[in-house]
Amino acid sequence: MLLNHEKKNLLASFAEPCFHKFMKIKELRKKTSKELEKILVELEEKLGKLRFDKDKEIKNHREIRMTRKQIARIKTLIIEKNEQKN
């Protein structure tokens, strides 16, 4: 049986939205192309783990969708930065 403080911690972990982990577009625009590519690789690895890790149940099902959206944002910014160079 869980204690009261354990129940609160467990409930709080499920209540937290997953998108607080992702950077906002303003923060991403300040990054260089190399930094964006590094973040992109990390997010793609994370997405792969989320999709294929069947042993663990995903706490928040939105995390896959939010990760895909963040990857799309970063790819768009990389394209924009490459067009500005040319």
In a domain, 8, yes or no: no
> Is 75 part of a structural domain of the chain?
yes
The domain spanning residue 30 has which CATH number?
1.10.287
**Within-domain flag for 4:** no
Which residue stretches of the chain are H helix?
4-15, 25-29, 33-52, 62-85
Residue 11 lies in a domain: no
pLDDT given for residue 15 in this prediction: 43
Domain count across the chain: 1
pLDDT at 56: 66
Residue 64 in any domain: the answer is yes
pLDDT of 13 > 60? The answer is no
Closest to 23 measured CA to CA, from 77, 62, 59, 60:
77
Question: Does residue 71 belong to any structural domain of this protein?
Answer: yes
pLDDT digits (tens, 9 = 90+) for 14-72: 444 444 467 888 999 999 999 999 999 999 999 988 888 766 665 667 888 899 999 99
The answer to whether position 42 is within a domain reads yes
Residue-range definition of the domain harbouring residue 78: 17-85
